[in-house]
Chains A and B, each alone.
Chain A
Amino acid sequence: MITMNKNYFEIKRAGINTTFQDQGRSNLYHIGIPFSGAMDNRNFQISNKLVGNKTNSPVIEFAYQGPLLKYFGDNIKCAITGDVKFVIKKNNNDIEGNCYQSFTLENGDEIDIMTTNKSVYGYLAISGKFNLEYQWSSCSINTKANIGANNGKRMKDAQKIYISKINKNLNDKKLNYINTKIEKIRVIKGTNFNYFSDKGKNIFFDKEFVVSKLSDRMGMRLDGPKIENIVDTNIKSEGLIKGVIQVPADGNPIIMLSDHGTIGGYPKIGVVISADYDKLVQLTPGSKIKFQEVELSSAETLFKLYDLETQNLISQI
């Protein structure tokens, strides 16, 4: 055990919402467990490829302010993706960190992930294996149900993160990539679209909404003009998926994100298309967004293009 755990990070500052995430868990909606998994799938996959891992390996996901980690052990490669400001501290020298570029940590070095610039989530991958517990084939932490690694809880100050295996002799890797911000969120009309008045429908597709502070891995709340319901502000409770936009009685939309409740009873005005999900989750509170309607067939094509672009980026590494 001692030799296995001789490589580890000590968490000197945990950050706001730091968790382990992988591709998430499937086929559990019917018992009330959502996918979870990395919020921004593209950045998650790229971070792994930069350190020579399989693209679905567990990584550390952080939101807004990330962790300050001190490393003990043999040399290890790391990579950070997203739009992240961080420094690597070596013998009291601060070296400005670059995203999308692997770097080496030596015994005693620190990574200080200060902030995500105008975005929410960032990823830290290592050229090795975190020593993690799995539930339903995934280590993804769901803090609401306390499922996944670390007893399903976000990381805390002073705790240690053990690394069970390091892949040595890796070349440094780099990708030229800039995250772009999304201006319009494309949606397909929801199954209760006709619950809303003509005025409400027009507001939904014409007006600006603002991302509220009450947003997390479960959902994104929006403020803006109220969307009027003319049929019923409740439906018989039924399944939800990520990207569903529900409008409760107060007329303010809520978008379901990766840790969402699996069943809900508010009318569904729309569903965010799969191609726009990674960019949607990166919108910070205060960001302005507009919705744009697309047809199913366009949404399918847009996803194919987005996925192809992701695969191209990964193959460039």
Chain B
Amino acid sequence: MSRLEMKFSELRGLNKAALVTFITAGDPSPDITVPLMHALVDAGSDVIELGVPFSDPMADGPVIQAASERALAAGVTTTDVIELIRGFRENDKSTPIVLMGYLNPIEIMGYEDFASSIADAGADGIIVVDMPPEEGVELGGVLKAQGIDNVHLLAPTSTADRIRLVCDDASGFIYYVSLRGVTGAATLDLGEVRSRLAAIRVHTNLPLGVGFGIDSPAAAAEAAEFADAVIVGTALVRIVAENSDSPETLIRKASAFIESMSSAMDLAARNEAAAE
């Protein structure tokens, strides 16, 4: 059983949704990434989503693009990201790590090299944002051979045909993009998300995560009612950006924010259990 499967099965037993926290590897500097990952887990994060810096992150909003730019300015390479994963795994054998990145830095390394390196370092899954299933047959095969879950996105605009195609190709979990926009855009209509998730469940048994626009404990708690995972990205990266000159403050504030998310989700789960 993969780390992701184990985590989701454990949380299902507790009737809880997973809290997935996103940071960009090496933002604002490589030294802070591993301590920050451990702090996020201590604060209640169930899965770490680790952004691989890219110069042209076209599906991300300005906050996450700026995180990529800070990491690149600090000289972070894909090889460095792999070493950060290895560093984290020295003290945490169980928390799943899902990478999020774009295809070009993977292609230049070569699919085989990349997949075996991240697997060896202890990564569990990857979201390649600009790689739809249609173009991803070769990469998909290589990832599978290395036991890396191929996490795909679904969007509010995905048609029934596309939902089937994406669900058939995906593993680990499905990441539902809950907003029509880039990461960190506009406001969220959770009612619509709830009904879309129900439509997707018809096609897959994979856990369904909701991301894009989850920026408060209340939104996290509400999404946790109907999603298997709640993904917090932009709101967390903003805290990193605002405190990039002080590692201690950064870690303290990021931890406090994730704790508030986690407690709100726990409370919602207890209330739901009590109501049943």
A in complex with B: no
Interface residues of chain A, those whose CB is within 8 Å of chain B, are none
- Interface residues in chain B, defined as those with a beta carbon under 8 Å from any beta carbon in chain A: none
